[in-house]
Amino acid sequence: MRFKLGLTGSIGMGKSTTARMFAEAGCVVWDADAAVHRLYSTSGLAVQPMAEAFPAAIRDGEVSRDVLRGIIAVDATALPRIEAIVHPLVAQDRAEFVEAHSDAIGVFDIPLLFENGGDAAMDATACVSVSPEIQRERVLARGTMTADDLERILARQMPNDEKCRRATWQIETDTLDHARAQVQDIVRQIEERLSHA
């Protein structure tokens, strides 16, 4: 892979939309959440080890994220045990993606990029950001999460200001046009950097 860009940002900041903009700009995108979905789906590599550790979380041959969320909410030991199973499988999925796209600029959509030290494997990083008010509004508008769920997720994540400080680039996702212009500028800068390498 010619260049690895880690893309991160807290929930509701517009990361998935921004990742699609990078794809439109000619980058290949690896999505950590999509990798977990593949691993949790029927015949996914995480199903068997998760069935052994959390039998209640298996529904119709798949790992139920809803059931896992409930388990995590009441069992403080659950999340580290889940991560011990899933993280190595996700890393393997990512390595296969890198190998399959040797001549591309890769964008790695990873929510916990800094928290899990994933930034060390990247050539640069970008953090999507928007005001806390818009973030909250976006998340609650999805109808899949309560305000308490949101607070629990935010408590596990590095504060957004800190992520933005650590990132090579910050992408303000207040409007689609503004975000797209910033994405195109970042891709241009990466191409420039590669042409001088």
H-helix or E-strand spanning residue 7:
strand 3-8
Residue with tokens 């990361």: 15
Spatial distance between the Cα atoms of 190 and 20, rounded to a whole number of angstroms: 17
| Prediction pTM value | 0.88
H-helix or E-strand spanning residue 4:
strand 3-8
| 94 band by pLDDT with thresholds 50, 70 and 90 | very high
Cβ–Cβ under 8 Å, residues 90 and 37: no
pLDDT in tens, 2-57: 999 999 999 999 999 999 999 999 999 999 999 999 999 999 999 999 999 999 99
Domains present along the chain, CATH in parentheses: 1-27+106-192 (3.40.50.300), 40-103 (no CATH)
pLDDT in tens, 136-169: 999 999 988 888 888 888 887 899 999 999 999 9
Q: What are the DSSP E strand ranges found in 19-147?
A: 28-31, 58-59, 62-63, 105-109, 124-129
Nearest 10 degrees: CA dihedral of 84, 90, 92, 93?
160
